[in-house]
Structure 1
C-alpha cells in the first residue's frame, strides 16, 4: 500500500516509516524540517508539511495515490514556533478534510492516553478536539492512544526518565506512584502495520499499552539496572516543590527550548499515563511484551549510558558556557572597565582605540552568551566561540606574551572552555 506518514521525522513517526517500508509498503514521509529529515533517512519519499499553516489545498497534491494516512504530528505545549491549537486541531482538521476529498481509504490518528477533559490541560483539550475532528469525517478512521513508548532511541518523556537515571546516588521523581503500561516501539509498529490492513477495526479508538503495570519509580529503577548504574535511592519530589521547575520549562518553551518538563506534562502525568489495552488486545489478538521483558531483549550499549549521563549534564554545560561569555562581556563594560582599559593600554592600543575595541569585544561576548542561553544555532555559536577564542589567544600572544606565564592563567584557562564548546557542538542534536 501507499502510506503517507505526517510527522515522519518524529520519535514515533520515524519508526513507523522505517517499519512500514521494510514491510514492503511505499512510504511518503511528511515533516516540517524536511531537509534535515531527508539526510537521516534518504531512502524515503519526503515532502514538506507544516500543520501550523497548511490548508486543504496544500495537502491535496501530497495525497495523490495515497491509500493510508497516519498522523503522528503533535506538540506538548505552546511555545516559540509551537501552537497546540494549530497543530492538534486546525492543522489536523485540514489534513482530515483533505483525506476525505482525496478519497483516502484509511486514516490512523496517533493521540495519547489520558486525553480527557478531566485532565485539565490544554494538551488534552486540543487532542480531544483533534480526535473529534477526525470522527466527524466520512472516513475509515481509527484513533490510537499509546502509553509510554520505549525504544532504543528516546525523545521527550522517555529521554527525561533516562536522564534522571544518570544522576548518581539519588534519583528525583515527581511523585513516583504514577502507573504506566509501557509498550515497546517494535510492538507499537507491529500494531500499526496490522491496523492499516483492510478489514482492521475502524471508527473506534484503542489504547495501545503493554501488559505490565509499572510505577514511575519502578520505571526509573528498571532503567538504572538496564543501564548498568545499579540501584538508586528514589527521592519522591513533592508537587509544590517540582512546580517551579515545570513553570521554568514553560518559560524555556517560549524561548524556543523544548523540554518535557512542562506544566501540561505534569497535569497529564498526574491524571492518567496508563491506558487500558483490553479492547485493542481483544480486537486484534496482539501480545505485546512487558517493560522488563523489553529491557531484557534490548541490552543497553555505551551510547545509552552516555545519553543518560549527558541528559542533564549537557544542558547545564551549555548554560555555564553561555553565562561565562555573557558575564565576561558585562563585567568588562562595568566593574572591570578600568582594568580592561589598562590591559588594552599594556597591549599597545592607543587611548582613542581602547573604547571601540572594548565595546566591540564586550558586545561580541554578550551576544554569543545570550544566543547560547537561548539555544539559538548552538553548533554555529560554539564554533564561533572556539574561533573567537583562538583570535583572543593570538592577539594576547602578540601583544602580551607574558600572560602565558601569569599565575592566574588568563590564557591557559580558556582551553577548557574551548573543549566545553567543542563537546556542546558535537552533541547538539535533539532527535
Structure 2
C-alpha cells in the first residue's frame, strides 16, 4: 500500500506517518516544508503542498501510484484560513483523488463538525466532510471526527499539561462542558484499521475515548502522569476566562472557549462496532508512555515563555530609547569618544546602535525566529567593547556588566523556547 498523508507535519499526521513507515508501508508525507518533513520522518518521501492555494490539477502528479490518502491538515484560531484549508483545499484534494482513481480517502474532521455548528472551524470542516460523502461510488471514504486528542506534541495536551503543572490548579467550573479525550496512539490505531478495512467504505466515525470527563478531571489525570501530588483547586470565573480570551493573552482563544462550553462527547459504541477496536481510558493510555523530567520541565516553562520574551523585549527597547531620549548628548559623545569615534561618526553610531536595540525588541515581541540569538550577538559585542574601554564596570557596585550575564542566559532560554512554524 502507498499512503499519502496530507498535513504530515501536524500532530496527528506525523504520528500516523511514523507508524506507517515503521510498519514498512510506502508513505508520502505532504506539507508546506518538505525539507523539514524529510528530517522528521526518515523513510518517508516528502513533497510540498499548500491547501491554501493548490487546485485539483496540482495534485495530479502527486497522486500517481497512491492507494490511499489521509487528510490530516488543519488549523485553529484562523477564521480567514478555515475556508481555504478546511473547505476549499480539502475539496480540491478530494476531487483530485476521484479523478486519479484513488480508492480510499480518510478525512480527519472534528467532533461536532456540522453545517449549523457555532464554531467556524467546525462549519468549515463539515463542508468538506459533506462534499466527500456526496461523491458516491468509486471512492471509499471514512470521515473520522476526533474529540480532544491527547499525546506528546499536541496543542491540547500542551495546554492541559501546563495547567496541571501549576502550583494551584485552575478549575474552569461552568465555563466548560464535558470532554471525551482519546490518546493519539489509539487514534492512529483506528486510522490504520480504516486503511485496511474492506472496500467499499463509506463511514463517519466519532473518535472518542471511553469516558466523558470535565477538563478539571483531565487536568488531574495529567497531574498524576507528571508525578505531582494533588494541589488546591481554584475556580476561575467564566467572565474572567472570556475577558482573557478576548484579549488573546491567555491559553484559551475565544473560539476554543465556545467549543469547551459546548462540550465534546459522543458514544464510543459505534466506533467499537465498526472497527472492533476499543480505545483505552486516557489515564491508562498515558501510562504507556511515562512522563519524564523533561515533560514536567516543559509544562512549567510554557507559561513563562511569553513573559521571558516580553521582558527581554523591554530590556532592548530601553537600551535603544534611553540613549536617544534620556541620556544627555554630552555623555553619549564622551562614551563614544572612548571607542575612538568623533564628529559625525558619533551620531551615526549612536542611532545605529539604538535602532538595532529597538529592532531586536520588536523582533522578540513579533516572535521572529532568531531574534534572541541576534540579541545575544549584540549583547556580547557591547560587553566586549565595554570590557575593553571600561573594565572597571565589572567591579562597579551595581554590577552593570555582570548583569549582562543574566540577560545572556535569559536570551538563551528564550531561544530554546522558540516554536517553529510551517
Which TM-score band (shorter chain)? over 0.9
Q: Deviations over 1:211-261 (max 9, x none)?
A: 122210011111111102211223232222112322333xx8xxxxxx963
User: Once the 2 structures are TM-superposed, how far is the Cα of residue 117 of structure 1 from its aligned partner?
Assistant: 4.7
In the superposition, relative to structure 1, how do residues 37 and 337 fare at CA in structure 2: closer, same or farther (>3 Å)? farther
CA distance in 2, matches of 1:47, 1:170: 43
Q: Deviations over 1:311-364 (max 9, x none)?
A: 111222122112221232123222335454554356554354332222111100
Partner of 2:215: 216
In the superposition, relative to structure 1, how do residues 337 and 41 fare at CA in structure 2: closer, same or farther (>3 Å)? farther
Partner of 1:255: none
Greater shift, 401-410 or 219-228, is seen at: 401-410
Greater shift, 228-237 or 166-175, is seen at: 166-175
TM-score normalised by length of structure 1? 0.91
User: Once the 2 structures are TM-superposed, how far is the Cα of residue 425 of structure 1 from its aligned partner?
Assistant: 1.9
In the superposition, relative to structure 1, how do residues 340 and 277 fare at CA in structure 2: closer, same or farther (>3 Å)? farther
> For residues 93-112 of structure 1, what are the structure 2 equivalents within 5 Å?
93-112=91-110
Tell whether the 8 Å contact from 2:5 to 2:17 is kept in structure 1 after alignment: yes
Tell whether the 8 Å contact from 2:175 to 2:260 is kept in structure 1 after alignment: no
Partner of 1:279: 270
Tell whether the 8 Å contact from 2:17 to 2:41 is kept in structure 1 after alignment: no
CA distance in 2, matches of 1:263, 1:192: 30
CA distance in 1, matches of 2:59, 2:246: 36
In the superposition, relative to structure 1, how do residues 173 and 323 fare at CA in structure 2: closer, same or farther (>3 Å)? farther
CA distance in 2, matches of 1:115, 1:267: 14
Q: Which among 363, 366, 373 is matched to residue 358 of structure 2? A: 366
Partner of 1:204: 203
Greater shift, 421-430 or 316-325, is seen at: 421-430
User: Once the 2 structures are TM-superposed, how far is the Cα of residue 295 of structure 1 from its aligned partner?
Assistant: 2.8
SS in 1 for 2:5: strand
CA distance in 2, matches of 1:334, 1:364: 15
Partner of 2:402: 412
In the superposition, relative to structure 1, how do residues 91 and 411 fare at CA in structure 2: closer, same or farther (>3 Å)? same
Q: Deviations over 1:133-169 (max 9, x none)?
A: 2122242111001111122x12212211111222213
Partner of 2:371: 381
CA distance in 1, matches of 2:303, 2:171: 12
Q: Deviations over 1:11-64 (max 9, x none)?
A: 000011111222332111111122112111221111111001111111111100
SS in 2 for 1:353: helix
> For residues 7-406 of structure 1, what are the structure 2 equivalents within 5 Å?
7-78=7-78, 83-138=81-136, 139-151=139-151, 153-171=152-170, 173=172, 175=174, 177-199=176-198, 202-249=201-248, 261-336=252-327, 338=329, 340-341=332-333, 343-345=335-337, 349-350=341-342, 352-377=344-369, 380-406=370-396
User: Once the 2 structures are TM-superposed, how far is the Cα of residue 403 of structure 1 from its aligned partner?
Assistant: 1.7
Partner of 2:2: 2
Tell whether the 8 Å contact from 1:113 to 1:272 is kept in structure 2 after alignment: no
Tell whether the 8 Å contact from 2:176 to 2:261 is kept in structure 1 after alignment: no
SS in 2 for 1:53: coil
Q: Deviations over 1:66-122 (max 9, x none)?
A: 11100000011227xx71110001100110000010000010100111223554221
CA distance in 2, matches of 1:333, 1:206: 63
**Structure 1: 5+ residue runs without aligned partners?**
253-258
TM-score normalised by length of structure 2? 0.93
Tell whether the 8 Å contact from 1:131 to 1:143 is kept in structure 2 after alignment: yes
SS in 2 for 1:428: coil
Tell whether the 8 Å contact from 2:373 to 2:415 is kept in structure 1 after alignment: yes
Tell whether the 8 Å contact from 1:119 to 1:268 is kept in structure 2 after alignment: no
